[in-house]
Amino acid sequence: LRDYERERSKRLLVLDDDVALLRMASLSLRLEGFEVTTAANGQLGLEEMQTQRFDLIVLELQMPVLDGRGFFREIRAAGFEQPVLILSAYGAEKARVQLGAQGAIEKPFVPEVLVDAVQAMIEQSASMTTRG
């Protein structure tokens, strides 16, 4: 089971209000073997979470309808405990600390930075689950 869990491709949810950025981020992560779902705001993200389980969420803060902070509080309140990577053009690290998220990267970024951050967070999450 553990091996299966390790081998299974990880499912990611990426939220950003910019469709072009979503396409780029999605492409970067798919090239590394992740399954990627995208949503243009927090509300659409919550809808995706009704139907799928995700191993990690990449989250922009500035979004219409339901912003990143609101979305984060909702999923934590709903018991989602997988890592969340904050993606922001301004104050990403500060927001990470405030919200209690696991990672943060600032825009603009090269794809390797995004991919490395996601992989590191998933490995850490897996090792903690194993130990636990």
Could you say whether residue 44 binds another protein (CB under 8 A)? no
CB of residue 116 to another protein, shortest distance in Å: 13
CB of residue 31 to another protein, shortest distance in Å: 6
Sign of the CA dihedral with 60 first, then 76, 85, and 104 last:
positive
Query: Toward another protein, which CB reaches closer, 74 or 126?
Result: 74
Total site size for another protein, rule CB under 8 A? 27
Query: Toward another protein, which CB reaches closer, 65 or 97?
Result: 65
Query: Residue 43: exposed, middle, or buried by beta-carbon count in 10 A (0-12, 13-18, 19+)?
Result: middle
Query: Toward another protein, which CB reaches closer, 61 or 121?
Result: 61
Please answer whether residues 48 and 11 qualify as being in contact, where contact means their C-beta atoms are separated by less than 8 angstroms.
no
CB of residue 130 to another protein, shortest distance in Å: 31
Place of tokens 């990267």: 105
Could you say whether residue 97 binds another protein (CB under 8 A)? no
- Over the window 1 to 40, marking each residue x when it contacts another protein by CB under 8 A and - when it does not, the resulting string is ---------------xxx-xx-xxx-xx--x---------
Report the distance separating Cα 52 and Cα 113, nearest Å. Answer: 26
Residues that bind another protein (CB under 8 A): 16-18, 20-21, 23-25, 27-28, 31, 62-65, 88-91, 106-112, 114
